[in-house]
Amino acid sequence: MIRDHRTNRADFIFYSNRIIRLLVEEGLNHLPVIQQEITTPVGRHYNGVKFEGKICGVSIMRAGESMEQGLRDCCRSVRIGKILIQRDEETSQPRLFYEKLPEDIKDRWVLLLDPMLATGGSALMAVEVLRQKGVPEDRILFLNLIASPEGADNFAEKFPKVRIVTAFIDEGLDEKK
């Protein structure tokens, strides 16, 4: 539905939001958990799991902001940081303009949000910003809707410990990247 040029705006938004929520839920499945026993309302014991740690979302502005509600729907009162990186259309290289992140981000698991992974330039720069703030690579999960094979390869080569959770790998980039 979201790839069909005949899909109207309301349906595009609805189905995109549905996929985003599924991506967030899948990303959360990659977080470490510990065993926890609880007592149910009827007095039975149940062995389950619990995430022990803190998370935050970081959206690559502006497109990544479209994924924030899906994260909030799954994680009540989650902290969300922002990074503004824009691609220079002449060179296709990313430029960092702004970042606002939680002060304790180095102690959190980070769900990096951006719906598109094209060349990987913006996402790579965003991971560099997170690393400079002390976030270990293996505590970053990059969530996106559509990834190009070139961008995914570039990303995996540069940051092999960052997990990518994507809904679709596209055919490839065109001449305009």
* pLDDT tens digits in sequence order for the chain, 177 residues long: 998 999 999 999 999 999 999 999 999 999 999 999 999 999 999 999 999 899 999 999 989 999 999 999 999 889 999 999 987 778 777 889 999 999 999 999 999 999 999 888 899 999 999 999 999 999 999 999 999 999 999 999 999 999 999 999 998 888 877
The pLDDT value given to residue 59 = 97
pTM attached to this predicted model: 0.91
Q: How is 126-152 classified by DSSP, letter by letter?
A: HHHHHHHTT--GGGEEEEEEEE-HHHH
Rounded Cα distance, 64 and 87, in Å = 14
Fold exhibited by the domain 9-169: Rossmann fold (3.40.50)
